[in-house]
Amino acid sequence: MADKGSIFTSPSIVIIILCTLSLFMETVPGIGSIYINIFQFDPHSLFTRPWTLITYIFLHTGLWHLFFNMVVLYFFGTALESRAGNKQLLAIFFTAGILSAIGYTFLSRPIFDISPGPMIGASGAIYGVFAALTMLEPDLRVYVYFIPMRLKHALVLFALFDFLMVNSSDMIAHTAHLSGLFVGLYMGLRIKNLQEKNIKSRYIGRW
């Protein structure tokens, strides 16, 4: 059974707090630029600065970037916690975040002919949470820009957008988003299969 989190024990809330504090550090004069340089992810420094595979997740380009990501994480993250548990949320979030950076590094040039530069933001990790929740609750009703739709349709819409925009010059790491999405789909499917197996075993055990 999933471990039920509250606003005080929810890992999603803790991540939101850490990202908010991190943005504050980014804005401190004389320190912010150094802070970003130390913790941002640069594909060219993957093997010499491995800690950035995690730390880049907590950095954001500004208030609106942070706000949008954290709103999505709050709703999808807490929903995933209630359906899969806090530990699974953390596993999906950080696995998707790490593999988003790795996918961004190794898939951008050979597949899309893009030269990957430094990257910050929790979007790839959040895409993993989004996709995993979709595997568990595909018909959950959500609002995308005030338009109601099922979660599975929202995921397809965002995936299609990232795929079509992958070669654009909008400074968004679309390959990282797509990498996180596929990680989330895989991990969500594994959780779903495990939950269904546990339900069947409990049902059979009653006879």
* CB-based contact 137:83 (threshold 8 Å): yes
Q: How far is CA 107 from CA 75, 92, 166, 178, in A?
A: 30, 21, 11, 10
Structure confidence by residue, pLDDT tens digits, 127-163: 999 999 999 999 999 998 889 999 999 999 999 999 9
Low-confidence ranges of the chain (pLDDT < 50): 1-5
Burial of 55 (0-12, 13-18, 19+ CB in 10 A): middle
Domains detected in the chain: 11-205 (1.20.1540.10)
Q: What is the pTM of this model?
A: 0.90
Rg over alpha carbons for the chain, rounded to the nearest Å, is 18
First and final C-alpha spacing in the chain: 21
How high is the pLDDT of residue 115? 84
In the prediction, which pLDDT does 35 show? Answer: 97
